[in-house]
Structure 1
Amino acid sequence: MINTEKTLTEVIDVLRSRGYIEDFNLFEVGLSYKKGDEKVNLNDIVIDKTYRFTGQNDLEDEAVLYAMRNTKDGVKGIFVNGYGTYSDKEADEIISQIVNREEDDNDDWMN
């Protein structure tokens, strides 16, 4: 997990420039980024990177951002959840079903 001083919006912008453009929070409401009725199998999703954001002045600003990809079709996206007390239980359940393939490497995921 990467702890960062950058804002959530700044990191999302960096990830979008790296191709993480889909909204995987749609999984939470049973929707899919795919057209039609085809659902995404969560077994095909892997977590590439995890970022934690701490609210300096407000604990409600704490969040976790997951950079994810679908190994079946190559689609990349993001998933955002609260952190600690403020995490969403449905989101926690979805994240618990996804394999974390995050590696500690020297690649700068912040730029």
Structure 2
Amino acid sequence: MEDYKNLVDALNGLKAQGYVEDFNLAENCLVCRAGAYQLLADEFQVDTSYRFEGDSSAPDDQSVVYAISSPRHELKGTLVSSYGMYTDTVTAEIIEKLR
């Protein structure tokens, strides 16, 4: 596991490892390619994650990047989120996968 200094380094390093998709969190799935792929909780795995804290201790200055793969769809990419960004609209299965 790499030891990245910041979010940008992590994203660049993961991209070099083939994690080229940009995943976004939806209500019950992850989406990429403008919604062309919608991955349910059982269709992807979190290969690794990296947490970063900014200069302040404020929650909005903290983030995590997930390296995600889906052998079923032959996709690899990243999901970037802020700590505590989960809302009531995201299903428990997706939240559990990202813990």
TM-score, structure 2 length as denominator?
0.71
Work out the CA distance in 2 between the residues paired with 1:39 and 1:8.
Answer: 25
Cα drift, residue 95 of structure 1? 3.6
- Corresponding residue for 1:16? 15
- Corresponding residue for 1:56? 55
Between structures 1 and 2, the one with greater strand share = 2
Work out whether residues 65 and 78 of structure 1, in 8 Å CA contact, stay in contact via their aligned partners in 2.
yes
Structure 2: give runs of 5+ residues left out of the alignment.
none
Q: How well do the aligned residues superpose, as a CA RMSD in angstroms?
A: 3.2
Work out the CA distance in 2 between the residues paired with 1:76 and 1:9.
Answer: 17
Work out the CA distance in 2 between the residues paired with 1:35 and 1:54.
Answer: 29
Cα drift, residue 56 of structure 1? 2.3
Aligned positions, number:
95
Residue identity in the other structure for 2:32: Y
The answer to whether 1:43 aligns with 2:42 is: yes
Between structures 1 and 2, the one with greater helix share = 1
Q: Percent of aligned positions with the same letter in both sequences?
A: 27
- Residues 1-111 of structure 1: matches in 2 within 5 Å? 6-25=5-24, 27-28=25-26, 32-33=31-32, 39-57=38-56, 59=58, 60-84=60-84, 87-89=85-87, 90=89, 93=92, 95-96=94-95, 98=97
Q: 1:50-99 deviations in whole A, cap 9, x for unaligned?
A: 11101123522200111000021221011111114xx2325685642537
Structure 1: give runs of 5+ residues left out of the alignment.
101-111
- Report the secondary structure of 1:14's partner residue: helix
- Report the secondary structure of 1:6's partner residue: coil
